[in-house]
């Protein structure tokens, strides 16, 4: 039995409803002092990592949610060497599966590296967003050989480097055009004469580690 403690009944009811609907299990809510405890049966253990990201929203913010969700996951699934691809040219190892984050054309990099390092994803450590220089070692041919998914309209990948503009946005690199780009947020002007209130670019998330030599055999 797994417990989640919250401050309000509405929060407890929302968690219980999400679990009951999404995972088809019976969930109990009990009062403990001035707090509410949601009791979730362990039999709902998620059988494989393909369902991992789909459940994250039940646990709160992405990285916190993923760490909490590990209570339900057989972490041996994350040790499979097939989840990563070693590039002998750069001595870097890249995340192939991209199952831990919503990777398709997002407006900012997705989180996930905290969990990847917590479970020693693909048997490796040191997972992080790549630098622009590291992304430059990739080509479309290498992405295809590695089985890293991309589309003809989405060959840009987020880097760990900051955008030229203010805010938390990152710079990205387009594998196809070999061009570097910078994310920024455009605010709506008071006359509503531009689209505004949105990000100017989209890219995909991929993680890398320099601990790739162990995966080369």
Which residues is 87 bridged to in the sheet? 92
DSSP strand pairing (198-199 vs 185-186): antiparallel
The position carrying tokens 């393909």 is 50
Q: Which two tokens stand for residue 135?
A: 């992304």
> Are the C-beta atoms of residues 14 and 29 closer than 8 Å to each other?
no
Radius of gyration of the chain from Cα atoms?
20
pTM of the full structure: 0.76
Rounded Cα gap, residues 81 and 95, in angstroms: 10
Return per-residue pLDDT of the chain as tens, 217 residues.
778 888 999 988 888 887 777 666 778 899 988 999 988 776 666 766 766 766 666 666 667 777 777 777 778 888 888 899 999 999 999 998 877 776 667 888 887 888 899 889 999 999 999 999 999 999 999 999 998 888 877 899 999 999 887 667 889 999 999 999 998 877 766 666 666 667 888 899 999 999 866 544 4
Q: What is the 3-state secondary structure (H, E, C) of 80-141?
A: CHHHEEEECCCCEEEECCCCCCCCCCECCCCCCHHHHHHCCHHHCCCCECCCHHHHCCCCHH
> Are the C-beta atoms of residues 85 and 182 closer than 8 Å to each other?
no
The predicted pLDDT at position 37 comes to 92
Rounded Cα gap, residues 100 and 67, in angstroms: 11
Q: Residues in the chain, how many?
A: 217
Rounded Cα gap, residues 183 and 166, in angstroms: 9
Which residues is 174 bridged to in the sheet? 156
Rounded Cα gap, residues 109 and 99, in angstroms: 14
Rounded Cα gap, residues 57 and 43, in angstroms: 19
The predicted pLDDT at position 15 comes to 82
């Amino acid at each position: 039995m797994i417990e989640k403690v919250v401050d309000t009944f509405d929060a407890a009811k929302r968690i219980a409803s999400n679990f009951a609907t999404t995972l088809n299990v019976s969930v109990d809510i009990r009062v403990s002092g001035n707090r509410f405890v949601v009791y979730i049966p362990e039999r709902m253990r998620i059988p494989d990592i393909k369902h991992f990201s789909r459940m994250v929203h039940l646990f709160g913010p992405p990285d916190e949610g993923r760490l909490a969700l590990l209570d339900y996951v057989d972490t041996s699934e994350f040790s499979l060497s097939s989840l990563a691809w070693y590039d002998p040219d750069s001595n870097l190892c890249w995340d192939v599966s991209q199952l831990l984050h919503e990777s398709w054309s997002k407006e900012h990099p997705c989180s996930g590296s905290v969990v990847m390092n917590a479970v020693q994803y693909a048997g490796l450590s040191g997972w992080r967003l790549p630098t622009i220089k590291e992304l430059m070692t990739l080509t479309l041919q290498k992405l295809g050989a590695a089985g890293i998914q991309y589309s003809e309209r989405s060959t840009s990948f987020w880097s760990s480097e900051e955008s030229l503009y203010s805010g938390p946005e990152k710079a990205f690199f387009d594998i196809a055009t070999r061009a570097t780009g910078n994310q920024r947020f455009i605010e709506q002007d008071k006359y509503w004469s531009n689209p505004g209130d949105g990000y100017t670019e989209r890219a995909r998330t991929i993680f890398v580690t320099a601990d790739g030599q162990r995966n080369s055999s």
